[in-house]
Structure 1
Amino acid sequence: MASRLRLFILLFYSIFLLDGFTAHSQFYSGSYMQFGKNRVQYDHFDWVYYNYGAYKVYFYTGEEKLAKYAGERTKNILNDVSNFMDYTPDGEFQVIVYDKESEYKQSNIGLTASEQYNTGGVIPMVGRKVVVYFEGDHRKLDEQIRLGVARVLFREMMYGGSVGNIIRSSATLNIPAWFEQGFENYMAYGWNTRLDNILRDKMLMGRYKNISHLAGTDATNAGISLWNYIVQTYGESVIPNILYLTHSTHSIETAFNFVLGTNLKTLMSDWHSYYLTEYRKDYPEDNLPDKKAIIKKPKTPCIYYNLKPSPDGRYVVYCTNQLGKAKVWLYDMQTKKRRKIIKQGEKIDRVTDISYPLIAWHPSGELFSLIMEKQGYIDLYTYTLADHKLQSRRIVDFQKILDYAYSDDGTKFVMSAVQNGQSDIFVFTAASNAFEKITNDVYDDLNPRFIEHSTKIVFSSNRPDDTLRSGGDYKNMQMNNDIYIYNYEAHSRILRRITDAPGVDESDPAPFGGNYISYLSNASGITNRYLAYTDSAISFIDTSAHYRYIVHSYPVTAYTRSILEQNISPSLKNYAEIILYKGKYRMYMDTLAAEPTAYLPEQPRYSYFMSQCNAEQRKKRRYDSVERIMKKDSLLIIKSIQQAPPPVIKLVLPPDTARPKPKDTSHVNPGAVRVNINDYTFEPSPVFRQPAIAPVPAVAAQPAPRQDTTPVKHADSAARKKVLDKQNYYVSFSPDFITAQLDNSFLNQYYQLYNGGAGPIFENPGVGVFLQAGLSDLFEDYRIDGGARLSTDFSNNEYYMSFSDYSHRLDKQLILHRAANTYALDNGYTDKVYTYDGTGIVRWPFSEVARIEASAGLREDKSITLAQDIPSLETPIGYALTPNSELAFVYDATLPVEINIQYGLRAKVFMQYYRNPGGFANSNLYVFGFDARYYQKISRDLIWANRFSGSTTQGQEQLIYFLGGVDNWFIPNFDNSINVDPNQRYVYQTLATPMRGFSQNIRNGNNFVLYNSELRWPIFHYLVNRPIKSDLLNSFQVLAFTDIGTAWTGLTPYSNENSINQTIVGAPGNPITVILSQKQDPFVEGLGWGVRTRVLGYFVRVDEAWGINNGNFRVPPVWYISLGLDF
């Protein structure tokens, strides 16, 4: 038996050495178990900063260019947002700039160090951190800065900057997600076609009928649309008043009623009707692709993207991303079967990164390649259809690759990539692993594709003109992307501009065959496919002929949902596209029409509605350079054009050999001509320089802006630019949180000493005052926590101190703890036990949801018998010095929804070892345990929560589990009628909970298993159709539950050695002891109902349960009042 035990222990340890470790807090106190997410660090950053006075911009070495851009933009954005909110921040901002998203995800900022089971009195500090990362698009970087600034100002305005204001506001202010996150994101993005497409889809499918029932991104998007409706209807001037009254009255309903003169119910009805009326009037019927979707039933919520058809049309490759877990699929169009190629990431509640994987088919059609990022490195994978093998190689010298595509011969690919903080166009040769840089400036160059037998490159860019230069000026960036062509064969520095529509975004250019180029445009408010045809004509002749280029552009689709992306295969004459429809991403593939029709439908009032939104959005995005004034005013031209709908035009494209002639409009009155903004004529022209300040002339039918092919010299004098001194960052700490609460649980969880006797009573600590404070550095890499739990008589106090280091992948923590507890012994005396322990913990994360932990500690228990008589005075002081270690694997993939409500799985498997040098010979204690919890969504925030847990102890000494009751039970009861096996060498004791319907000790032993199941329903939040001001009602939950479990001694619960089957009859001092054997059902059950709610910040639990023991219901039911979250 001993040899088998040693073999089992060795095997268990071997498994854990491969899979995991854990630290403190196992079944020390019932169901309390520490889970939590992780951050995985692959890189080390040396932080420096620029001091701008009102804020500091932190960055790491080599990213000076991004840092300076972020610093300049933050100044304008801070002034803009502050003026819009009519609020001046009090204090210094910290803007933290990361080079790319994968490096940002390594940051510890926002990571919760430990889970709070008692929510009362926990006051998080309102920080002033704005964390951004570069995605290769400066417009997105601006949006991130705006979002961060708006979030800091909003929360400071609502909750205050001082500790006193934060405490008062946190206790009384209840702000729904659609209000807070909606406002912050509205300040960041305004109202644009992307958001409008999402809202249109949700509104028409009836999903946004009640904004109070929405959560997550739905709540955010609906909130953005509500704030946009308020601005469109009541004007921007009402926003500061709404925010101020929300803060002062602690009621958003009062604020809306006072400022807007309407109650919240009416406002919500008007908001819903406003958008729904516009959408139904403009598009009474859906117009979508005729072809059936590739995937009949796409999953939701799941993003489908990077749809790439093979050159022969038989296969498509696409990506899916569900909450951060990305997968690449190969789909056979003939067999209708798909194969998973690779997966990456975990489902987690963080920003979803759909910039990877990237996909491109080799022109042979025999293989395709993927570009992914792993542990900070960029890898190129090649998948061969013949043998289904995936091979990889590393690509260096780039910070991020944004897009790529093969050349016609498959030896090169053109790509948009980030290098030195800017996105440029490169041509990469795979064989030599070398690249050629095409553009080298600050402007964002995206979506490159080879065209015309790989002699030219088409791409989209926000550059101001058609001339390639090194460097450039950020202030000259356009607010939208246009389409350009680069002559790769001639290496010309002059680009051919295909589109020039101010305020309109064009993207995803692709060859369409012949001289046609396809691209996506949101000119009508809905992103549709457009075709551009380039023609040339002789401009003048001197010694040679000089040509001017004429571009004809027109839409070829008129969908009522935006095309999110397109991919075209000119050789096969097919296309693939993705559209969001009825909440799902629909993928389509079809053959290109030989003679596609140009759709120019009448643009109804919706176009004017969208142009108004875009104009308001751009008014908020003020630039400090006068060069942008004309670009902003040019939006008015678009609006005036869109107000007058053009007639429907049916245009049949000519064959490739024929070219359309320019229309002769010399005889037409310019005032009567309707301008087609998609038809451009580019001619050589003198240098056009915008005046410093000049109004835009009212030109309704003037020629399109002419191309500027002369280099522009940008003033870059020292008088305009302030020299910034780069300074090193040194670790400094600031308050992270403060806790002041009443609590009846132990401060640092640990096993209590077994108090022995025939009728042990497990002592819960009484209600005491818990004080705690936390400090962290700017990047939250280092944390210091300290706390004290003061008992009512100041006799049994607890103290602890913790220091954590998360700066590297291996997390480290040191905990020092001291506690005092009083125990009643079976001989009538009372012992006071002082416990001192120190624990060192290390954690190694595999991913953001999985980690291993290991800890080693030393514990000293000092037992003093309190003086009552002479024998108690003569009792010597007992000392027990116990070294211990723990190992565990922790997995936590839960998604928080609201308090005590989450979705997903989390689990922990652990092992503990205790050694008692002063105990029996070879006094070892081994504890093995597991705890798995799964939370299933039923409907919105109605969930079904399940927990399965168990533990066993082995060795010469034992740990006893008392089954029954709940955690943090006020006035707990103990069942003294259940005997404890006297043959077991128990040294520690703990609870196995919850087992409702019984007192503590309905079963006991050195093993236990327990199953708990709960239906959790936040009834008022679920049913009430408006925001609930009362936190008590908003967090109120009704539960139905059942518990099944047992604790036992022996090999199995049904073995004869189980102490529940034996009743010991005898008295102390009596030499005769009678043992009665009787078979009992080892398992007990409990079922009942309960309520949960937050009262003054404390999450209070009230349960009524009926127990079932040996098949008999126990009446009356048992009531429980306790504190704490989860089970």
Structure 2
Amino acid sequence: MNSLRWLNLLVALVAITTVQAQVNTVQFGKNRVQYQKFKWKYLQTDNFNCYFSQDGLGLGEYVGKIAEQELPGLEAFVEYGMQRRINIVVYNNYDEMQQSNIGLGIDWQNTGGLTKLVNNKMIVYFDGNHQHLRYQIREGIARNLVENILFGEDIGDMATNQTLLDLPKWLTDGYITYAAENWNTDLDDELRAVMLAGLYRNFYHFAFEKPALAGHAFWKYIADKYGKNKVTYFLYLARAYRNLNNASYKLAKRKFKVLLQDFMTDMQDVYFKDIRGRRNAPRGQLAVSEYAGKKDFYRFNANPVPRSFSYAVTEYKQGRIQLVLMENFINRRVLLKQGVLSREEDKNPNYPLVAWDGKGTRLAVVYSDQGKINFFVYDMVRRIKINKQVIEKFDQITDMKYMLDNNTLIFSAVRSGQSDIFIYKIDKQTIEQITNDKYDDLDPSFVAFPNKTGILFSSNRPLATREQAGNEEPNSSYNIFLVDNWNKSELRQITKLTNLSRGNARYPSQYNTSHFTFVSDENGIGNRYAGFFTTERAGLDTLIFIGDEVLRNPAKAEVDSILKDWDKTDVDSVGFVSVTLDSAYIFPLTNYQSSLLETRTAGDNQQVSEVVRLGDAKLLYRLKIDENTLRRRNVTARPTEYVRKLIEEEKKSQRKVIAPVVPVPVDTVVKKAENIFSTGFDEEPSGPTKQSSTTPAKISASKKNKIFEYRPPKFFNDYLVSGFNNNVLVTRYQPYQGGYGPITLSNNNPLNGIVRIGTSDLMEDVKFAGGYRISPNLDANEYVFTTQYLKKRIDYGVTYYRNTVKNPPIYTDT
């Protein structure tokens, strides 16, 4: 009986207990901590205000220039022109962006919905790769244009459209990403893995699990099947009809659900046909397999010792990151733990970084914490962390490998918005800069060939040296280069080893004594390629030193001119540097069904590691050098269906016959046509003068942009709520009623008129919100005003609330 009585009591307590959970409307836990003070300035172009902070002028200028170049094409695609300037906030790296208050969300929710105002604002950050930065710019511009199309420019249009227009988020977000970049090999590989795995029952299941990929792939399907010009037309039909079924029937003569079924069927057929004749896995030893469902695994690093089964891997789940060292599949040691529980799938693109030394006894780790770059080395023998340091000489580090010994590292790092190669001494904490230009230099790796040593790296430079490239802009693709490692930075010889017609060449490393290897998606899938390296002596270059000037093989007139500038009669010194002629023969080693996600050189034991994806599983392989394929060179990596269509489009564009130019009679050229109409205005110039005015992009790019201080802050409206309901206007303290209830958060009227508006500055550091509610009898009106200051490390706010309550129960006469 006693046990039954206690059980009944427990059930009663559970039944009357109110359980509170943190949901997406709760602000607790979403605050961001500022570890540094930002001093903002902004650069104004014709259509954009680009805001940048310390050491960000170069990035701000680049963002403004690219935004002006990309705007006309995006406006033409979405068939809408920008009405006012877009504010672009540029962060030097991902960690700085994570300190920003922008995008924390609206500080108040309404069950009846709210009107989110379009503020023409976007944020971008630099991760060391200008390709990614350009994509962020295009996506941000496309998002602003599309939101203005969907929701309008003024408050009335926004309130109406957001009430009546109900398009799925995957659909609108997919259209935005498609406008930013129609398609690429990474998306194609990800969609291939989804379609071949067969994990989703229908498109809605697919869109629920992977909304970004599903939306982007849907619009590509519309473009491929019905024409690229039908993409924006379909969105227009959805807005006009406010019904996807009607829009789909108008475009494809079928219901929207049937159109989605066709997508699933057609894409599966395409990819099953595409994988014929390709290998589904590497030929080698499977070291580990991980199922990447709700938990993701990346940056696998296998121990270079052949007899060891240890590896390091980064685990990510709901905002939490763990760097795990697995020893012989049994012992699990967590070397680093970061992050907080969050529903936002947002990973740091660079950290943590890990690298094994050649003997497999030390593991170097670079990670970011509280806005600083931290470093330590884990000693596998003593099982302790050594060489703990804070690296303050870089904005961010994008890649790291050991060099000849366990005291020297090669970094690909960013300083002042410029991505270059550096050599870092661990004990002395000194750096030596290898490259120094505006091009992105990534994935460095030390190599030692017969008669030549140096550093392989991937770069988007059009030519090898800065002198050869001149002022040319970075390429849209990456190739492999080799740079000397013994000369001074300005004297190093850089050689271009690959010249891909399409795709990128990434992750270079030494394969054997005469070959190097890299990963390229030239055929649409990231396959392993090899390059046979040869070099020969090409003599000596003469160096003339005059003051701070270094002249390489100069002419006599150039030397005389420099001597005159420095007011000297003779050169300071003469030097010589050895020059070699380097070349490489490139050929594929693999023909996989899916791309290599990651690859690392596993020490000096002629091993490489590869990570491939099969469905939602990621597999880590350790491979020996494929000497047979190196000798035969008999692998053909045929292009995928996506790349094959790109090749056909290129050939069609090349086959276009230019219409022959018909010679114009001489008198029609010389004679000026007489204008019989008088307009009262000056006549417009004809010929080349008038034609040059039709290229505003080039003109705007040549203008000198002005730089201003961001002072005082600029404020914008965030949201507007209006309607009739009985929602809680503010959570407040309750008047004491002698222990009697009920507790009321509102005025108990079933219907009230409510208006609430919120505003904040551009950086969302200072927020104001106010609102009022009018009761039907005008007796229980409520007013509230709140302000928040989020700029410093400690946030605070003030709320004023007033409510008129007549005849509360405790004061009534009995």
TM-score range, shorter chain: 0.7 to 0.9
Residue 733 of structure 1: aligned partner = 715
**Is the 8 Å Cα contact of residues 132 and 141 (structure 1) preserved in structure 2?**
yes
Aligned counterparts of 2:120 and 2:737: Cα–Cα separation in 1: 51
Deviation at 1:188, TM superposition (A): 2.4
**Is the 8 Å Cα contact of residues 303 and 585 (structure 1) preserved in structure 2?**
no
Deviation at 1:476, TM superposition (A): 2.5
Residue 464 of structure 2: aligned partner = 466
Aligned counterparts of 2:339 and 2:299: Cα–Cα separation in 1: 17
| Correspondence 1:55 to 2:48 | yes
TM-score by length of 1: 0.59
Q: Which of 753, 761, 783 is equivalent to 2:735?
A: 753
Residue 16 of structure 2: aligned partner = none
Q: Which of 569, 587, 593 is equivalent to 2:602?
A: 569
Deviation at 1:202, TM superposition (A): 0.4
Deviation at 1:778, TM superposition (A): 0.8
Residue 393 of structure 1: aligned partner = 389
Q: Which SS does the other structure have where 1:404 is aligned?
A: strand
After superposition, residues 545-944 of structure 1 pair within 5 angstroms as 549-569=582-602, 571-596=604-629, 607-613=640-646, 721-729=702-710, 730-756=712-738, 765-767=748-750, 768-823=752-807, 825=809, 829=813
Aligned counterparts of 2:225 and 2:157: Cα–Cα separation in 1: 33
**Is the 8 Å Cα contact of residues 209 and 272 (structure 1) preserved in structure 2?**
no
Deviation at 1:368, TM superposition (A): 1.1
Cα gap change, 1:88 to 1:431, in 2 (>3 Å): same
Offset from partner CA, 1:1056-1113 (integer Å, 9 cap, x none):
xxxxxxxxxxxxxxxxxxxxxxxxxxxxxxxxxxxxxxxxxxxxxxxxxxxxxxxxxx
**Is the 8 Å Cα contact of residues 439 and 468 (structure 1) preserved in structure 2?**
no
Q: Which of 309, 320, 334 is equivalent to 1:340?
A: 334
Bigger drift between 157-166 and 232-241 goes to: 232-241
Aligned counterparts of 1:756 and 1:336: Cα–Cα separation in 2: 63
Cα gap change, 1:720 to 1:753, in 2 (>3 Å): closer
Cα gap change, 1:79 to 1:208, in 2 (>3 Å): farther
Larger Rg: 1
Deviation at 1:242, TM superposition (A): 1.7
Equivalent position amino acid for 2:175 in 1 = F
Deviation at 1:155, TM superposition (A): 1.3
**Is the 8 Å Cα contact of residues 42 and 49 (structure 2) preserved in structure 1?**
yes
Cα gap change, 1:172 to 1:777, in 2 (>3 Å): same
**Is the 8 Å Cα contact of residues 403 and 415 (structure 1) preserved in structure 2?**
yes
Cα gap change, 1:265 to 1:239, in 2 (>3 Å): same
Aligned counterparts of 2:415 and 2:538: Cα–Cα separation in 1: 40
Residue 966 of structure 1: aligned partner = none
Deviation at 1:157, TM superposition (A): 0.7
Aligned counterparts of 1:546 and 1:63: Cα–Cα separation in 2: 37
Q: Which of 418, 421, 437 is equivalent to 1:441?
A: 437
Cα gap change, 1:36 to 1:214, in 2 (>3 Å): farther
- Higher helix fraction (1 or 2): 2
**Is the 8 Å Cα contact of residues 518 and 529 (structure 1) preserved in structure 2?**
yes
Deviation at 1:50, TM superposition (A): 1.3
| Correspondence 1:452 to 2:448 | yes
Q: CA RMSD in A?
A: 3.1
Q: Which of 167, 172, 183 is equivalent to 1:180?
A: 172
Residue 106 of structure 1: aligned partner = 99
- Higher strand fraction (1 or 2): 1
| Correspondence 1:520 to 2:553 | no
Residue 287 of structure 1: aligned partner = 280
Offset from partner CA, 1:841-879 (integer Å, 9 cap, x none):
xxxxxxxxxxxxxxxxxxxxxxxxxxxxxxxxxxxxxxx
Deviation at 1:336, TM superposition (A): 3.7
Aligned counterparts of 2:537 and 2:722: Cα–Cα separation in 1: 82
Cα gap change, 1:485 to 1:470, in 2 (>3 Å): same
Deviation at 1:772, TM superposition (A): 0.8
| Correspondence 1:129 to 2:113 | no
Residue 501 of structure 2: aligned partner = 502
| Correspondence 1:85 to 2:78 | yes
Equivalent position amino acid for 2:790 in 1 = Y
Aligned counterparts of 1:201 and 1:264: Cα–Cα separation in 2: 24
Residue 650 of structure 1: aligned partner = none
Aligned counterparts of 2:209 and 2:653: Cα–Cα separation in 1: 32
Bigger drift between 380-389 and 144-153 goes to: 380-389
Deviation at 1:518, TM superposition (A): 0.9
Aligned counterparts of 2:379 and 2:190: Cα–Cα separation in 1: 37
Residue 417 of structure 1: aligned partner = 413
Residue 1016 of structure 1: aligned partner = none
**Is the 8 Å Cα contact of residues 303 and 311 (structure 2) preserved in structure 1?**
yes
**Is the 8 Å Cα contact of residues 356 and 372 (structure 1) preserved in structure 2?**
yes
Q: Which of 423, 448, 452 is equivalent to 1:427?
A: 423
Aligned counterparts of 1:311 and 1:292: Cα–Cα separation in 2: 13
Cα gap change, 1:63 to 1:540, in 2 (>3 Å): closer
Cα gap change, 1:157 to 1:825, in 2 (>3 Å): closer
TM-score by length of 2: 0.80
Cα gap change, 1:637 to 1:423, in 2 (>3 Å): farther
Query: Which residues of structure 1 form unaligned runs of 5+?
Result: 1-25, 617-632, 639-716, 831-1127
Aligned counterparts of 2:425 and 2:476: Cα–Cα separation in 1: 33
Q: Which SS does the other structure have where 2:119 is aligned?
A: coil
Cα gap change, 1:750 to 1:86, in 2 (>3 Å): closer
Equivalent position amino acid for 1:777 in 2 = D
Cα gap change, 1:718 to 1:159, in 2 (>3 Å): closer
Equivalent position amino acid for 1:481 in 2 = Y
Cα gap change, 1:267 to 1:770, in 2 (>3 Å): same
**Is the 8 Å Cα contact of residues 128 and 440 (structure 2) preserved in structure 1?**
yes
Equivalent position amino acid for 1:721 in 2 = S
Q: Which SS does the other structure have where 2:804 is aligned?
A: strand
Offset from partner CA, 1:681-711 (integer Å, 9 cap, x none):
xxxxxxxxxxxxxxxxxxxxxxxxxxxxxxx
Equivalent position amino acid for 1:145 in 2 = I
Aligned counterparts of 2:477 and 2:523: Cα–Cα separation in 1: 15
Q: Which SS does the other structure have where 1:595 is aligned?
A: helix
Deviation at 1:57, TM superposition (A): 1.0
Aligned counterparts of 2:701 and 2:156: Cα–Cα separation in 1: 43
Residue 367 of structure 1: aligned partner = 362
**Is the 8 Å Cα contact of residues 538 and 548 (structure 1) preserved in structure 2?**
yes
Deviation at 1:324, TM superposition (A): 3.2
Residue 485 of structure 2: aligned partner = 488
Deviation at 1:89, TM superposition (A): 2.1
Aligned counterparts of 1:634 and 1:484: Cα–Cα separation in 2: 29
Equivalent position amino acid for 2:771 in 1 = G
Deviation at 1:33, TM superposition (A): 7.4
Offset from partner CA, 1:1024-1044 (integer Å, 9 cap, x none):
xxxxxxxxxxxxxxxxxxxxx
Aligned counterparts of 2:619 and 2:536: Cα–Cα separation in 1: 42
Deviation at 1:112, TM superposition (A): 2.3
**Is the 8 Å Cα contact of residues 361 and 367 (structure 1) preserved in structure 2?**
yes
Deviation at 1:299, TM superposition (A): 4.3
Deviation at 1:803, TM superposition (A): 0.9
Deviation at 1:97, TM superposition (A): 0.6
**Is the 8 Å Cα contact of residues 502 and 635 (structure 1) preserved in structure 2?**
no
Offset from partner CA, 1:893-933 (integer Å, 9 cap, x none):
xxxxxxxxxxxxxxxxxxxxxxxxxxxxxxxxxxxxxxxxx
Aligned counterparts of 1:800 and 1:235: Cα–Cα separation in 2: 53
Deviation at 1:504, TM superposition (A): 1.9
**Is the 8 Å Cα contact of residues 442 and 472 (structure 1) preserved in structure 2?**
no
Aligned counterparts of 1:503 and 1:254: Cα–Cα separation in 2: 40
Cα gap change, 1:537 to 1:516, in 2 (>3 Å): same
Aligned counterparts of 2:702 and 2:165: Cα–Cα separation in 1: 44
Residue 304 of structure 1: aligned partner = 297
Deviation at 1:482, TM superposition (A): 0.3
Equivalent position amino acid for 1:527 in 2 = G
Deviation at 1:240, TM superposition (A): 2.5
Offset from partner CA, 1:550-575 (integer Å, 9 cap, x none):
42222222221110111123522222
Aligned counterparts of 1:234 and 1:734: Cα–Cα separation in 2: 41
Deviation at 1:421, TM superposition (A): 0.7
Aligned counterparts of 1:560 and 1:142: Cα–Cα separation in 2: 29
Aligned counterparts of 2:201 and 2:780: Cα–Cα separation in 1: 55
**Is the 8 Å Cα contact of residues 801 and 817 (structure 1) preserved in structure 2?**
yes
